[in-house]
Amino acid sequence: MPSVKNLSVWTLHHKVKQIYVEVDQSVSSSVSHMREPDVGRMEQYLAEFAGYVAHVKAMDPVDWPHWHAHELPFEHLPELAVKENAAVNELLLFLKIMSIELVESQSKDLPAGLVVYDMQRLEKNIAYAHSLLDYVKSSTPTDRPEAAQIEANSTKK
């Protein structure tokens, strides 16, 4: 089983994994467009993730010499199964890339915290995820059954 020595990397990986599983099992994954509740949930997860990243960034460098020898086992994200929804496929692939970048980073061998390059990459990844969600929101039709009914009735006249 793979492992890291860095508590921050381990926690960040598990947070990415949680988001991955939620997106993978969302209702949107089995339909052709992203549903508003799933987009909103993803935005909330990203906000929580960004908050934890800010916490890690604000930490003083940690020196736990006795802890450093401990291996923290983790499971990689599940294999990608192509979904009906192209946006979900892209989000899942991006989360998988983000996870690999974390667990294979230079920071994985520190006791905690991230080296500057890994932190910058992670912050850019979060910005990319927000940009991707903004694109999904602008390109996804909103599911409003009541409005569709009104439009259907107006075309019958």
pLDDT at 70: 83
pTM over 0.85: no
Residues 6+ apart with CB under 8 A from 32: 84, 85
Beta carbons within 10 angstroms of residue 51's beta carbon? 10
Mean pLDDT on 38-56 = 94
Give the model confidence (pLDDT) of 56-107 as tens digits.
999 887 777 766 668 999 999 988 888 888 889 999 999 999 999 999 999 9
Gap between the Cα atoms of 38 and 90, Å rounded: 14
Answer whether 114's CB lies under 8 Å from 57's CB.
yes
Q: What is the 3-state secondary structure (H, E, C) of 33-51?
A: CCCHHHHHHHHHHHHHHHH
pLDDT at 66: 65
